């Protein structure tokens, strides 16, 4: 009885485990057969011997955009590059019913893959922690799916005319390096060709979905034409940071310069100190902004803003300088009249025939001139209290309408 049960148990275990062992051996045998060097050469494109191009379908999955640098004019991102093509040499429909074969990292070098590269790439590297981040699946009909994780730094030629209310279109070019259109053709995936994960950028957001195009390149050294794909990332800069750090502080500095219009004309140290302080503050702020931007030859929106703010605070300082010049002229004239008054009151002057009544007239004239001067200075300050704010408001309305609406939607 015990021997019979033992035999039955061995038979059941053999039935259960024999398919598993058969499947494992079958996969190994299939891969050995497909990648045998006597029938498969990874150095040759799939349809090379048939003298026709291999169609490669691409999909780009953007995991993150790490930085966008205006000075270097580039952007750094992390992506999955997914490529699909059919290699008739890797068909195994007649050998097994497995839906696909998943290759190990060490076996991928034995399979042909396109020589894809990014023409506008500045710097790139593969991810190899903990193993090279690559994936290669072979389907029963010979379809090969190849995915790789990359970190890229790509050139992005930016137009900063409207900075910081600007919109940037950053292209991504994908091309074959050695195979011409006679051997390899690139095509975007028909659905979701460029996918973007939940990307959050501190200074930008996506204005609209990426657009895709197909292109070709012919180099000057020969007539060879290479297949090419491109996509454009449409980015809009977030203005919140610049409102808090640039625009609002500069508006407050300009308003602060107007306080001098309410300070008494004779308070020379107060008005001069306030005017110089506001000018230096605007100048320092402008220098800080310029240090984070490239040295372009055209005028940016932020340059217009800083220049006009500097003009307003400098004009407020000039307004007091004009009043102060008038004060100096008045005091010089008053000194001469005072001298005449002293001479008129001197007994020696009287003996030579100067009219003593002249002394009273001079004093009245001096008092009248002082009153006229004070009225004129106060009148200039009162006009400035109205003209400066109204001019600044008109400038703000024009500036924001032009750069936020009209110029960005041309």
Predicted pLDDT of residue 169: 94
Peptide bond into 130 cis (omega under 30): yes
pLDDT in the model for residue 350:
47
β-pairing verdict for 184-188 and 54-69: parallel
The residues pairing with 118 across neighbouring beta strands, listed in sequence order, are none
The residue with greater pLDDT, 142 or 350, is: 142
In this prediction, residue 379 carries a pLDDT of 82
Q: What is the pLDDT of residues 291-339, one digit of tens each?
A: 888 888 899 999 999 999 999 999 999 988 888 777 666 655 555 445 4
Task: Give the pLDDT of residue 299.
Answer: 92
286: closest CA among 249, 329, 330? Answer: 249
Predicted local distance difference test score (pLDDT) of residue 28:
80
Give the per-residue pLDDT at 20: 39
Asked whether 267 and 379 are in contact (CB, 8 A), the reply is no
In the 8-state DSSP scheme, what is residue 181?
A: T
Q: Which two structure tokens, joined as six digits, stand for 127? A: 């991810």
Q: What is the DSSP string of 223-241?
A: S-EEEEEEEEEEEEE--HH
Q: What is the mean pLDDT of residues 2-22?
A: 43
Give Cβ neighbours of residue 46 (< 8 Å, ≥ 6 apart).
Answer: 54, 85, 86, 87, 88, 89, 112
Q: Report the half-sphere exposure of 408 (CA within 13 A, side-chain side).
A: 22
What is the residue-averaged pLDDT of the chain?
Answer: 82
Q: 172 to each of 74, 79, 319, 383, how far by Cα in Å?
A: 11, 11, 54, 56
Do 181 and 56 form a contact (C-beta atoms < 8 A)? no
Cα angle for residues 151, 156, 157 (degrees, 5° grid):
165
The residue that leads in pLDDT, 46 or 93, is 46
> What is residue 126's predicted lDDT score, i.e. its pLDDT?
93
β partners of residue 155: 74
The SS3 assignment for 401 reads helix
Query: What backbone phi and psi angles, to 5 degrees, belong to 240?
Result: -60, -45
pLDDT score at 371: 55
pLDDT at 21: 41
Q: Which of 90-104, 162-176, 330-344 has the lowest mean pLDDT?
A: 330-344
Q: Which residue has the higher pLDDT, 203 or 347?
A: 203
Q: Is 409 exposed, middle or buried (0-12, 13-18, 19+ CB in 10 A)?
A: exposed
Identify the pLDDT of residue 76: 95
- Does residue 137 register a pLDDT over 80? yes
Does the bond joining 164 to the residue before it have cis omega, within 30 degrees of 0? yes
Which pLDDT score is estimated for 6?
46
| Least confident among 131-135, 165-169, 331-335 | 331-335
**Helix H or strand E encompassing 114:** none
**DSSP state for residue 104 in the 8-state scheme:** P
CA 243 to chain CA mean position, Å: 16
Residue 112 is classified by DSSP as -
Neighbours of 395 (CB within 10 A): 17
> How many Å apart are CA 351 and CA 337, to the nearest integer?
20
Q: What is the percent of the chain with per-residue pLDDT over 70, rounded to a whole number?
A: 80
Pairing of strands 74-86, 134-139: unpaired
Q: Specify the range with the lowest mean pLDDT, choosing from 70-79, 155-164, 235-244, 339-348.
A: 339-348
**Distance (Å, rounded) from C-alpha 20 to C-alpha 24?**
6
Residue 222 pLDDT: 66
Q: What is the DSSP letter of 87?
A: -
- The residue ranking higher by pLDDT, 268 or 174, is 174
Note the helical H segments in 104-173.
none
Q: What is the reported pLDDT for 202?
A: 87
Q: Is the pLDDT of residue 22 over 60?
A: no
pLDDT digits (tens, 9 = 90+) for 243-264: 999 999 999 999 999 998 888 8
Q: Give the pLDDT mean for 126-155.
A: 93
Question: Torsion angle, CA of 330/336/341/344, rounded to 10 degrees?
Answer: -160
**347-371 CB burial, b ≥16 within 10 A, e <16:** eebeeeebeeeebeebeeebeeeee
Take residue 153 and report the two structure tokens written for it.
């730094």
Angle separating helix axes 248-257 and 268-290, nearest 10 degrees: 160
Residue 122 is predicted with a pLDDT of 93
Instruction: State which of 34-38, 156-160, 405-409 shows the largest mean pLDDT.
Output: 156-160
Q: What residues does 304 pair with on adjacent strands?
A: none
pLDDT in tens, 198-226: 888 888 999 999 999 998 777 755 678 89
The 3-state DSSP class for residue 155 equals strand
Res. 406: pLDDT tops 70: no
């Amino acid at each position: 009885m015990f021997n019979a049960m033992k035999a039955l148990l061995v038979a059941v275990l053999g039935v259960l485990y024999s398919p598993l062992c058969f499947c494992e051996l079958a996969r190994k045998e299939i891969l050995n057969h497909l990648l045998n060097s006597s029938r498969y050469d990874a150095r040759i494109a799939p349809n090379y011997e048939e003298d026709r191009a291999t169609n490669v379908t691409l999909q780009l999955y953007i995991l993150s955009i790490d930085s966008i640098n205006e000075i270097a004019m580039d952007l750094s991102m992390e992506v999955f590059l997914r490529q699909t093509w059919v290699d008739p040499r890797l068909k195994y429909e007649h050998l097994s019913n497995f839906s696909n074969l998943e290759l190990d990292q060490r076996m991928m070098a034995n399979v042909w893959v396109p020589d894809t590269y990014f023409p506008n790439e500045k710097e790139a590297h593969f991810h190899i922690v903990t193993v090279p981040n690559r994936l290669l699946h072979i389907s029963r009909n010979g379809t090969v799916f190849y995915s790789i994780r990359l970190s890229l730094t790509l050139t992005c030629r930016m137009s900063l005319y409207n900075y910081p209310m600007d919109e940037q279109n950053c292209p991504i070019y994908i091309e074959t390096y050695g195979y011409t259109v006679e051997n390899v053709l690139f095509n975007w995936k028909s659905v979701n060709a460029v996918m973007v994960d939940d990307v959050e950028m501190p200074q930008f957001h996506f204005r609209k979905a990426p657009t895709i195009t197909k292109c070709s390149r012919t180099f000057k050294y020969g007539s060879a034409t290479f297949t090419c794909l491109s996509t454009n990332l449409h980015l809009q800069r977030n203005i919140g940071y610049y409102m808090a750090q640039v625009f609002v502080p500069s508006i407050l500095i300009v308003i602060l310069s107007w306080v001098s219009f309410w300070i008494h004309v004779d308070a020379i140290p107060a008005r001069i100190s306030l005017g110089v302080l506001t000018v230096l503050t605007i100048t320092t702020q402008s220098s800080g902004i310029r240090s984070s931007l490239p040295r372009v030859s055209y005028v940016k929106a932020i340059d217009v803003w800083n220049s006009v703010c500097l003009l307003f605070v400098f004009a407020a300082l000039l307004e007091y300088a004009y009043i102060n010049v008038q004060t100096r002229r008045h005091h010089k004239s008053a000194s001469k009249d005072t001298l005449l008054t002293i001479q008129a009151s001197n007994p020696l002057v009287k003996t030579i025939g100067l009219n003593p009544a002249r002394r009273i007239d001079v004093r009245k004239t001096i008092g009248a001139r002082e009153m006229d001067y004070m009225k004129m200075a106060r009148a200039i300050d009162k006009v400035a209290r109205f003209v400066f704010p109204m001019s600044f408001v008109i400038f703000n309305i024009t500036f924001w309408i032009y750069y936020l609406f009209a110029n960005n939607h041309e």
